[in-house]
Amino acid sequence: MTDQPAPLSFGFLVFPDIQQLDLTGPYEVVSVLDAPKTVHLVWHDLAPVRSTTGIVFTPTTTFADCPPLDVVCVPGGVGVNPLLGDAAVLAFLRRQAATARYVTSVCTGSLVLGAAGLLKGVKATSHWSARDLLAGFGAVPMPGRVVRDGRFVTAGGVTAGIDFGLAIIAELCGTEAAQACQLQLEYAPAPPFDAGTPETAPAGLVAKLRARGEAVRREREAFVAGWTDA
């Protein structure tokens, strides 16, 4: 009888108005890992949820049924706003965080970890348009594509989830396993422009996107202003 390591378990929160690439990027990285694993999509119930850009995701388990996870991950999107005050979401994250090896997020998913009271004194990041809001939850906002502070690993906006996926696989399974995922996904990015951050994008464009996101941002500001750790 050989010792088989227990399969790794990953759980991504899914929800209405999720930003689909926040989920599908890291989902794909951990899913091409050549090792026993399960990858859950977790929500209140099993009814399909629609992402902001249209693709529909079907949860594979519920908050009540989800087993203890090695890695719990909260993607972001416009749809995080209602999650900030959703007691069942926050209780699920607190329960998983008590035993998970890594408590993680992509993009504005970190706001939900913050609302759950999990980021107090923790260095963390988010989408560039929301990063500063983390301070309202007692976190220490950091620039960076992937920010690690102990068991907490938070990624920047959307596509940072791919870098995050590789980083978490390296943590769990070693460098070679992560490199295998990278090679499989041919991840040798070559953006045709250098406009991926507010620091490098044309200033007019940053202003335009801030204006487009203003209503969502104000909701978040109002939530943070009223937040007290439960």
Residue ranges that bind a second copy, judged by CB under 8 A:
19-21, 24-25, 27-28, 31-32, 34, 39, 41, 53-58, 60, 107, 127-128, 145-146, 156-160, 162-163, 166-167, 170, 175-176, 178-180, 182-198, 200-202, 205-206, 208-209, 212
Q: Which residue reads 């960076």 in tokens?
A: 144
Query: Of 66, 73, 107, 181, which residue is the catalytic one?
Result: 107
> Please, what is the end-to-end C-alpha distance for the chain in angstroms?
48
- Distance of closest approach, residue 192 Cβ to a second copy, in angstroms: 5
Q: How far is the CB of 170 from a second copy (least distance, A)?
A: 6
How many whole angstroms separate alpha carbon 66 and alpha carbon 100?
12
Instruction: Tell me the C-alpha to C-alpha distance, in Å, between residue 202 and each of 139, 145, 167, 205.
Output: 29, 20, 30, 5
Nearer to a second copy, 34 or 229 (CB): 34
Question: Known catalytic residue: 66?
Answer: no
Planar angle of CA 152, 16, 85, nearest 5 degrees: 60
In the complex with a second copy, which residue's Cβ is closer, 96 or 159? 159
> Rounded to the nearest whole angstrom, what is the least distance from the CB of residue 104 to a second copy in the complex?
15
What span, in angstroms and rounded, lies between the C-alpha atoms of 11 and 28?
13
Minimum Å distance from CB 96 to a second copy? 20
Nearer residue to a second copy within complex by CB, 98 or 215: 215
Taking the CB of residue 191, how many other CB atoms lie within 10 A of it? 8
Q: Known catalytic residues?
A: 107
